[in-house]
Amino acid sequence: MRPTALLLFGGAITAPALSLPASAAPAGTVTITIHRLSVAEYHKPYVAVWLEPVGGGAPRTLAVWYDLKKRGNDPGTKWLADLRAWWRKGGRSMTMPADGVSGATRTPGQYTIPLPADVKPGQYVLNVEAARETGGRELVSVPLTAGARTTGKTELGAVAISAR
């Protein structure tokens, strides 16, 4: 297999060519840390994680965490547009819940998301965006690189990438 450089959240990862079927083992993982902010009214953030080809092309959503249980006049999906960059890149065309992609908001802590094994060889940028009610918004981007790390300033903590 030939090496492939993939870009994700401001870094680049060199890994074997990713040509395995979707059911195969993940190509690596992304670890995302959500901060606990010291505020009077804390709400868990909505988070979107997606890959974008560097030269342009369709983005691929890896995860969207939002309020799945909220129903009625203001369902949880209503607020997905607050994840502005993800929403513009393709979130608005997705039907939620999306199998294998969407999930509930997360409490503060570290979470690991597998990188799909069927990503075509090439360069990518990994994007993680967070938006919180009565809080801020943050978007971090990293070129996909083994051992790449970046840290958010407000809503997000460390974002790390590891290859398998």
- pLDDT tens string 95-121: 777 877 878 889 899 999 988 878 776
Tell whether pTM > 0.85.
Answer: no
Higher pLDDT, 150 or 4: 150
Q: Please report the pLDDT score of residue 5 as a whole number.
A: 30
Provide the 10 A C-beta neighbour count for residue 162: 16
Q: Which residues contact 158 (CB under 8 A, 6 or more apart)?
A: 31, 33, 110, 149, 150, 151, 152
CA distance 112 to 28: 10
pLDDT (0 to 100) of residue 11: 32
Per the CB < 8 A criterion, the answer to whether 111 and 31 are in contact is: yes
